[in-house]
Amino acid sequence: VIGHPKYQDSKRIAIFLSMPDEIQTEEIIKDIFKQGKECFIPRYKPQSNHMDMLKLSSAEDISSLTLTSWNILQPSDDDSAREEALAGGGLDLIFMPGLGFDKKGNRLGRGKGYYDTYLERCMKHPSGKPYTIALAFREQICESVPVTENDVQVDEILYEGS
């Protein structure tokens, strides 16, 4: 990931905070700050498909986040001091999680459509749609995954041996 040209060229990067069954992103987050890039993480709104990407000030900032009922660390709802990526300069790159992927770039998420809805909002931003890279285990690559017309394909899927 760290040697990827799209990552090297990106200044404003959104990345998920890993759940135990996902590719671990902690070292990537540390590198984002080491390279002087800006790091944004998701804040999901329960009972909706709305998600914002909020700015982290440092890798250590993660320890100040609250744990949701889904066991995901994210900024609290009353945390209004953080920059939302689309309120500023948009995003250059989004690293995306998922349950399964196919080689056409289709992604099976957790069913709420958070990333698809967010990418639609990105497309309306002056900086346009960011490049999207899914981080996957080889076992998550399938022949095909079910899609609907609202699903946005990822630009690239990175997995071991790809």
> Does 162 score more than 70 pLDDT?
no
Cβ(72)–Cβ(44) below 8 Å? yes
* Residue 135 known to bind ligand: no
Q: What range defines the domain where residue 118 resides?
A: 5-158
108 compared with 70, residue with greater pLDDT: 108
How far apart are alpha carbons 35 and 18 in whole angstroms? 21
CATH of the domain at 64: 3.40.50.10420
* Residue 3 known to bind ligand: no
* Residue 113 known to bind ligand: yes
Cβ count within 10 A of residue 94: 27
* Residue 112 known to bind ligand: yes
* Residue 110 known to bind ligand: yes
Name the nearest CA neighbour of 17 among 47, 82, 49, 61. 61
Please tell me the predicted confidence (pLDDT) of residue 36.
98
Q: Let me know if 155 is exposed, middle or buried by CB neighbors in 10 A (0-12, 13-18, 19+).
A: middle
pLDDT bracket for residue 143 (50, 70, 90): very high
* Residue 93 known to bind ligand: no
| Structural domains of the chain, count | 1
* Residue 107 known to bind ligand: yes
How far apart are alpha carbons 57 and 62 in whole angstroms? 9
Pairing mode, strands 107-108 and 156-159 = unpaired
* Residue 109 known to bind ligand: yes
* Residue 159 known to bind ligand: no
Please tell me the predicted confidence (pLDDT) of residue 77.
87
**Mean pLDDT value of segment 5-10:** 98
* Residue 17 known to bind ligand: yes
How far apart are alpha carbons 125 and 47 in whole angstroms? 25
- Whole-model pTM: value is 0.94
* Residue 22 known to bind ligand: yes
